A and B are shown apart, each in its own frame.
Chain A
Amino acid sequence: MPKNKLTLKIILILASTDILETFIHFCFKKSALYGAGISIGFPDGLFLFMKAMALSPYLWFGLLGALLVFAFWSTILSKIDLSIAVPIASLSYILVPLSSIIFFHEKIPPLRWLGILIILSGVILVSLSANKKDIPA
């Protein structure tokens, strides 16, 4: 059975995967900021860092998001080929840097954007090479 019918429903699921993926990275960065001031030494610093992470609600939001993405992704891959799904889902390579500008006031120099676009094209090429045999039906 060919799995390449890109319906509106699938596009919507893929788009929500992109947004969720960006949300996950936002959450992990947020929770990591709780540990920004902790200097890492062994074992005290490490345990302090782990405690700060575990106590941050963002970490758990992020993990919940990761679980959801996993569920979405499993649904998508049972409906369309990986080589079609990944290029649409790689939008997060653009969305994550954008969200880091908006929410964390990070600066992205032009050369880095160029690097990001080249990485994105590489990711798409890798997914296009996905062999149908790679994915059990």
Chain B
Amino acid sequence: MNLSLILVIGLIFLSSSCDTFSQVFLKKSINSLDIQVNSIKKAIRFILKLILIPRVWLSFTFSTFSLLIWLFVLSRIDLNFAFSLDSMHYILIAFASGMFLKERVCYKRWIGTGLIVFGIILVSLTK
């Protein structure tokens, strides 16, 4: 382990944020399609229509960034430590789906999110 804790948390935060953006863009694109996928033929049409949406490519780009940062973190840090901290994407997704997708985030989800934050703090203390 040769990176400082703050830098590791920052990088995992960046990777998780990229992943969250990727998910939001993908979800927005899928929402805009409104095709019922109930046969192979329709599934192929769904995928073809999906990859024509520019936002989907934005989603792939963010995904690639996220993976690249993640690989960099893993090249310096123990897997179990990084993996536990990576659960912060649950928190980011809860915020992002409330903000960008106007999904309702209920109290149970906030309690769960709070537990995740607490767990992440405990894990961070062990580095």
- B-binding residues in A (CB < 8 A): 25-26, 28-29, 31-36, 38, 40, 49-50, 53, 59, 93, 96-97, 99-101, 104, 106, 108-109, 111-112, 114-129, 131, 134
A117 to B120, CA, bound (A): 10
Do A32 and B83 have beta carbons less than 8 Å apart?
no
With a cutoff of 8 Å between Cβ atoms, the chain B residues found around residue A115 in the complex are 84, 119-123, 125-126
Known: A122-B114, A131-B106. A29 touches B79 (CB 8 A): yes
Q: Would you give the 0/1 interface string for B86-127, flagging 1 where the beta carbon is closer than 8 Å to chain A?
A: 010010001000000001101111011111111111110110
Nearest 4 CB-CB pairs, A to B? A122-B115, A125-B112, A115-B122, A119-B119
Chain B residue contacts of A36, Cβ below 8 A: 75-76
B interface, by DSSP: helix, strand, loop or mixed? helix
Asked if B13 CB lies within 8 Å of chain A CBs, one says: no
Q: Is the interface of A mostly helix, strand, loop or mixed?
A: helix
Which B-chain residue is minimally distant from A103 (CB atoms)? B79
Contact of B87 (CB < 8 Å), options: A40, A53, A123: A123
Give the A-binding residues of B (Cβ under 8 A). 68, 70-76, 78-81, 83-84, 87, 90, 94, 103-104, 106-109, 111-123, 125-126
List B contacts of A123 (CB < 8 A).
87, 90, 112, 116
Q: State in angstroms the CA–CA spacing of A123 and B107 once bound together.
A: 14
Please tell me if the beta carbons of B108 and A125 are within 8 angstroms of each other in the complex. Answer: yes
If A25-B79, A97-B84, A119-B116 touch, does A128 touch B74 (CB 8 Å cutoff)?
no
Q: Across the interface, which residues of A come within 8 angstroms of B122, CB to CB?
A: 111-112, 114-115, 118
**Chain A contacts of B72 at CB under 8 A?**
32, 35, 40, 49
